[in-house]
Amino acid sequence: MSRKTTSVLRMLEFANHNLRRQDEYATVDFKIGICCMLEDVLHSTNNYSGFTFIDNNNIATGTLGYYSRQYFYSETMTKEAGGHLNAAERRNPPIETITRVPKLDMED
């Protein structure tokens, strides 16, 4: 049986993407599942840094607005992302960042 892993950063970005969704399939139950799963992963890996609501005018507990949120990157994930906290920006960096050589942090 093969074993595969994924990064916490990738999970966070995937969750944030799906929590922004507003289509008919992005229901309260769908978003509750994402929040529960992601919070467990973030807490168990010491990467939980809180979240913000997408619309502060729609945050009544248990509503779709309450679960429409974005989780923050931890300091560790920010370093892993190379300072670019947007997946699209990391995949298509501005020209001036392409030639920059990242500093390796050997201390952990």
Domain range enclosing 53? 8-98
In this structure, which long-range contacts are made by residues 30-33, counting pairs with CB atoms below 8 Å and at least 24 apart in sequence? 31/64, 31/67, 31/68, 32/67
**Which H/E stretch holds residue 99?**
none
User: What pLDDT score does 37 carry?
Assistant: 97
User: What pLDDT score does 56 carry?
Assistant: 93
Q: Regarding predicted confidence, which is higher, 3 or 26?
A: 26
Give pLDDT tens digits for 54-90: 999 999 999 999 999 999 999 888 888 776 655 555 5
- How many domains does the chain contain in total? 1
User: What pLDDT score does 93 carry?
Assistant: 46
User: What pLDDT score does 86 carry?
Assistant: 59
On whether residue 108 sits in a domain, the answer given is no
On whether residue 16 sits in a domain, the answer given is yes
> Is 68 in contact with 32 (CB distance < 8 Å)?
no
pTM of the model: 0.74
On whether residue 3 sits in a domain, the answer given is no
On whether residue 2 sits in a domain, the answer given is no
Q: How many CB atoms lie within 10 A of CB 14?
A: 14
